[in-house]
Amino acid sequence: MLQPGSWIAGYRVERALGSGGMGAVYLAKHPELPRSDAIKVLGEQVGEDEQFRKRFLREAEVAAGLDHPNIVTIYNRGSSDGMLWISMQYVPGTDCAQELQRAQEKAGAQAGLPPERVVRIAGEIARGLDYAHRRGLLHRDIKPANILLSDESSEFGDGIDRGYRTDADEQRVLLTDFGVAKAANETESLTVVGTVLATLSYASPEQLKGQPVDARTDQYSLAATAFHLMAGRVPFKGDGTADVIAGHLSKPVPRLSEMVPTVPPAVDSVIAKAMAKEADDRFANCRQFTDALQSALHQGGMTAYTPPVAARPQMNPRPAGPATPQPRQHTQHTPPPGQAAGAQPFGQPMGRQPLGQTPVPQAYQQHTPQPAYLSSAQYSQPQHPARNPSAGPSGSNAVMLALLIGLIVVAIAIVVAIFLVA
């Protein structure tokens, strides 16, 4: 570990930001520009492998060509005193692993982050991954610790105006640690003494079996990460490494909806597809996966709030003879026996007579304040009674009624005449 005040490649170390199996990350002052960068320094045992050093420097150079709002920018890379290092954009804030740890400290060991937030984070990372994949670069180590969340109350201190600002309700989400990334067209993998660099809890089956990998291996790891963030636990766990590997290779993905009550069952099938054992059975890209995840979560949430559709009742038939319409009532409605107080018959706006006498549950009325089954003929009828309540039917209706009665009388006369003749 480098101590504050020490130097590497012209950078002055200010403090440690974190450490892992491959090395440590420090906040360091840029040697020339008025800014601080994040510098990842790989362990000396890693840098001793000459073949690894060459691939690392080459692939870090490829990763430095990525320019995307959801990917941490790589500035430089090199070797100093036998140690490999990468300087990159410093993002003030936290990461998903720390956010999950805070949530579990407050709510319990199995608590996770809100599903809506996890889906938004996964969607942002999917954009960055698909961008990198289109440029022939894989990440191969997607996990909560590599997903950075910017500080809500500050801008980036990298000295560059990128046009990004954070609001209280919108953290920036960035993917970091492309240091173990590899070009998609290369068959060699960055491994140390045959050990897979990707964290086992999120590694795809093809990674664990040492098979060729493509963009869909990052999709698998992203889905496993989303599962962990929502459920508060990794998809496959056990007493040892062998149990975790066996889970990735042969066991079905646990049902997330059984662990998190707010997650609808539709999410289970989306996670299962993205974490399919065979890469060909997964989504075409990461964005398709997160779009399907968002749709499944939204669909499940809408189902919980959408009231059931009531059966369409029969309308009262129009009377054959003259009827005396009722004047507009402004008195308080008295519910019929068996109907809850305060509930109104279906389709009755406040202060009006009901269109029918078939009441429906009050929950439906709250979502449907207007009649849902008026026919086009009813829409053409006046919605208010006539000015003269004692008036009979209109003149046109009276004429039609008289003609109808005349036709009936003529028909009866004809039938009687035929009977007499016979």
> Could you list the active site residues?
141
| Dihedral sign for Cα atoms in the order 100, 196, 66, 282 | negative
Contact yes or no for 204/253 (Cβ under 8 A): no
In angstroms, rounded to a whole number, what is the distance separating the alpha carbons of residues 260 and 269? 15
Residue 307 neighbours by CB distance under 10 Å? 13
* Cα–Cα distance, 127 to 287 (Å, whole number): 6
Residue in the block written with tokens 């998609």: 184
Who's near 173: CB < 8 A, 6+ residues apart? Answer: 70, 120, 121, 124, 125, 147, 148, 149, 150
Q: 54 in helix, strand or coil?
A: helix
Q: Across the strands, what pairs with 149?
A: 94, 173
At residue 52, φ and ψ (nearest 5 deg) are: -65, -40
Contact 37, 30 (CB under 8 A): yes
Q: For residue 317, count other CB atoms closer than 10 A to its CB.
A: 6
Residue 329 to residue 352: CA distance in whole angstroms: 6
Listed residue (196, 356, 217) closest to 282, CA to CA: 217
As a residue count, the chain comes to 422
Bridge partners for 93 per DSSP: 150
Cα–Cα distance measured from residue 337 to residue 356, given in angstroms and rounded to the nearest whole number: 16
